[in-house]
Amino acid sequence: MKRPKRSGAGARPAHLLDTGTLLWALGSPERLSERARRSLDAGENIVSVASYWEAVVKTQKGLLSIPDLATWWRRATELMAVRTLPIRASHVTALAALPALHKDPFDRILIAQAVAEGLDFVTNDEHISAYPVRTIW
């Protein structure tokens, strides 16, 4: 598994947040596990543009209530002080190599991004531990 390149002795561990983790960190931090909270406090938090896409789709389906998605995304990334990860061709290549263990396309691209970037994945989805990605919860 590829690990992210970090420079300097004080570099913080980097990890990718699941969409649910991002939503809970913003609105219901008590729902996060103690380990997840510590990771968010101590490491470099990264969110994927796929999480923005998932929030848009779930809002359109009535599963989330976010009145102004563009403002929500901008404020969420600022409040969480996260780095935004775009979807790259290498992520799609990693997606194609994943076993078909999980049906959710958003989770699958997030897993693929974590694998391709060598990032730990902060998620409470136990099914994801069957993939070749280190999870934190």
Question: What structural domains does the chain harbor?
Answer: 14-136 (3.40.50.1010)
pLDDT at position 10 is 52
Q: Is the pLDDT of residue 3 over 70?
A: no
CA distance linking residue 129 with residue 14, whole number of Å: 18
Band the pLDDT of 6: cuts 50, 70, 90: very low
Which amino acid, one-letter code, is at 40? Answer: L
pLDDT at position 103 is 86
pLDDT at position 13 is 84
